[in-house]
Structure 1
Amino acid sequence: MTRLDQTLVDSWPLLPYAERRAPVIHAVNERLTTAERLWRALAGVPRLPDRPALRTLLTRIEEGCRSPLDIWGHERVFTGPGMPAFRRQVRVGVGRRTMYLDLLAERERVNIELDGATTHGDPRQREIDLRRDALLASVGILVVRFAHRRLVHEPDEVRRETLAILAARAAPPRP
């Protein structure tokens, strides 16, 4: 019998490349393990095949990425020149409700939400999202949502749009 952390590290090279990240992300999201425990397990396997990819994944998880879409957006859209240092998975309380924001630009009070293809296509989920967005607007936080399709197929446009929104929110109001 081995600990989950060690099992995830040991099984990393045994899984097909496209399926390697999902078990690690799931285990961390479900609080079955932590990035810190996975780092310790990885330290004990210095010659692990494709070790750099697991190290990158653990770094992204530590940075607040909680899904493959979060990671994709982080690496290809929401970092680099002009982008603020977004805070990821920021806990915000409004009234009795607690929410976690995907990407928060604090100074501009803009929350970027990355909507996955499966969950956010459901009309009930859309209603929940709209109510959540309205609640955040009541405390001055603008929510900008990008669908999976746009994020993946139009990353440059999403980046330009994000920068324009941030610039508009940072500019002083006109008299």
Structure 2
Amino acid sequence: MHRRQGLTLEAPHVVVRRGLTVTRLEQTLVDSWPMLLPSERRAPVIRAVNDRLTTPERLEAALRNVPKLDDRAAFRTLLTRLAGGCRSPLEIWGHEHVFTGPGMPAFRRQARVRVGRRTMYLDLFAERERVNIELDGATTHGDPRQREVDLRRDALLATIGILVVRFAHRRLVYEADDVRRETLTILARWAAAAG
């Protein structure tokens, strides 16, 4: 528990869920930020956005109500990454350490692509080069069934001329410079082939 100046137990500060008066999710996420260990702060925010329970914009509005929040800059950076299309800690890490900077294109994050009746979202899409970079987290993409899903998806994207390049968590974290060089080489070759 902590105190919040100006909080009233009525709209817009609270909502009623199953007969209980509760603070809004956005404000709860902002208020709980300094109470969590730094290593645990981002996960609830990422999950709430990914599960479409809130948006980075609504979280930003709630953040404005707490001007003296501990580690406010980190919260704002997280919201910027989420608004830009990053959807996991690995994607955020890749954005900050590998896929931005000199020579890198302005990737479209979570680019929506339709192939026939199927809609897919691409982690990082270099439109001009028609290259999709997928960042494969250790937990989800280590499963053989998920690997099969990934291969079928990659083959489907190849039918419309999109090359899929996958980087595993381990390589992204421990071989970031190599991944960056490989990405730039692939993009240059595909741009030359397309042009």
Aligned counterpart in structure 1 of residue 181 of structure 2, from 147, 154, 160: 160
> Where has structure 1 moved over 2 Å in runs of 4 or more?
none
* Residue 123 (structure 1) aligns with: 144
Aligned counterpart in structure 2 of residue 72 of structure 1, from 82, 93, 112: 93
* Residue 30 (structure 1) aligns with: 51
Aligned counterpart in structure 2 of residue 3 of structure 1, from 21, 24, 28: 24
Confirm whether residue 47 of structure 1 aligns to residue 68 of structure 2. Answer: yes
Give the CA deviation at 1:173.
6.6
Give the CA deviation at 1:55.
0.3
Q: 1: distance between equivalents of 2:30 and 2:194?
A: 51
- Extract unaligned runs of 5+ from structure 1: none
* Structure possessing the higher radius of gyration over alpha carbons: 2
Q: 1: distance between equivalents of 2:118 and 2:78?
A: 30
Q: 1: distance between equivalents of 2:168 and 2:128?
A: 24
Q: 2: distance between equivalents of 1:172 and 1:27?
A: 41
Scaled by the length of structure 2, the TM-score of the pair is 0.88
Aligned counterpart in structure 2 of residue 90 of structure 1, from 81, 105, 111: 111
Contact 2:129 2:194 in 1 (8 A): no
Summarize deviations over 1:108-138 as a string: whole Å, max 9, x none: 0000000000000000000000000000000
Summarize deviations over 1:36-92 as a string: whole Å, max 9, x none: 100000000000010000000000001100000000000000000000000000010
Q: What percent identity do the matched residue pairs reach?
A: 79
- What's the C-alpha RMSD, in Å, of the aligned pairs? 1.0
Superposition pairs of residues 132-151 of structure 1, within 5 angstroms? 132-151=153-172
Cα distance change of structure 1 residues 85 and 173 upon mapping to structure 2, 3 Å threshold: closer
1:6 partner letter: Q
What SS class does the counterpart of residue 110 from structure 2 fall into?
strand
Q: 1: distance between equivalents of 2:79 and 2:194?
A: 41
Contact 2:132 2:163 in 1 (8 A): yes
Report how many residues are paired: 174
* Structure with bigger RCO (C-alpha 8 Å, 6+ apart): 1
Cα distance change of structure 1 residues 173 and 83 upon mapping to structure 2, 3 Å threshold: closer
2:76 partner letter: R
